[in-house]
Amino acid sequence: MSRRVSSLLLYSGIVAIVLAMSAVHANVFATFRYDVIGSQRFPWTATYIAFLGLAAYVVGLPDVPRRARQIAAASVAAPILAVLGVSLIALALGEPFLPRFVVVSTTVLAAAWFATTATIANGGRSRASGRERVVLIGDQDGRHGIEQELRHNPERPATIVAQLTVEQAQPSPDQPAPIREVVEAEGATLIVLDRAAQSSQAIVDQAAMAHEDGVRVRTLSLFYEQWLGKLPISELERVSLLFDIGEVHRQRYSRLKRVIDLGVAVALLPLLLALVPIVAIGNALANRGPLLFHQDRVGKGGTVFRIHKFRTMRPDGDGFGAWTAESDMRVTPFGAILRRTHLDELPQLINIVRGELSLVGPRPEQPAYVAQLEAKLPYYQLRHLVQPGLTGWAQVKFGYARSEHDALEKLQFEFYYLRRQALAVDLRILVRTMRTILPIGGPSWH
pTM over 0.85: no
Return all residues near 439 (Cβ < 8 A) that are at least 6 apart. Answer: 73, 77
In order, the DSSP letters of 179-216 are HHHHHHHHT--EEEE-HHHHT-HHHHHHHHHHHHTT-E
User: What phi and psi, each to the nearest 5 degrees, are found at residue 246?
Assistant: -50, -45
Min mean pLDDT across 61-65, 81-85, 198-202 is at 61-65
Cis peptide before 364 (omega within 30 of 0): no
Q: What secondary structure letter does DSSP report for 22?
A: H
| Residue 444 reports pLDDT greater than 60 | no
Q: How far apart are CA 435 and CA 443, in angstroms?
A: 9
HEC readout, 276-344: HHHHHHHHHHHHCCCCEEEEEEECHHHCEEEEEEECCECHHHCCCCCCCCCCCCCECHHHHHHHHHCHH
Count the neighbouring beta carbons within 10 Å of the beta carbon of residue 351: 22
* CA distances for 300 relative to 247, 303, 439, angstroms: 11, 6, 33
> Residue 94: its pLDDT value, please?
82
- For 317-411, strand residue ranges (E) read 358-360, 389-391
Over residues 363-388, the mean pLDDT reads 91
Range 373-402 burial, b when 16+ CB lie within 10 A, else e: bbeebebbeebbebbbbbbbbbbbbbbbbe
In this structure, which amino acid lies at residue 273?
L
* 115-172 pLDDT per residue, tens: 999 998 887 666 666 678 999 999 877 788 889 888 877 888 899 999 999 999 999 9
* CA distances for 321 relative to 82, 288, 325, 403, angstroms: 43, 21, 12, 12
Over residues 261-278, the mean pLDDT reads 93
Q: How far apart are CA 210 and CA 144, in angstroms?
A: 25
Calculate the CA dihedral of residues 280, 283, 288, 293 and round it to 10 degrees. -80
> Residue 398: its pLDDT value, please?
86
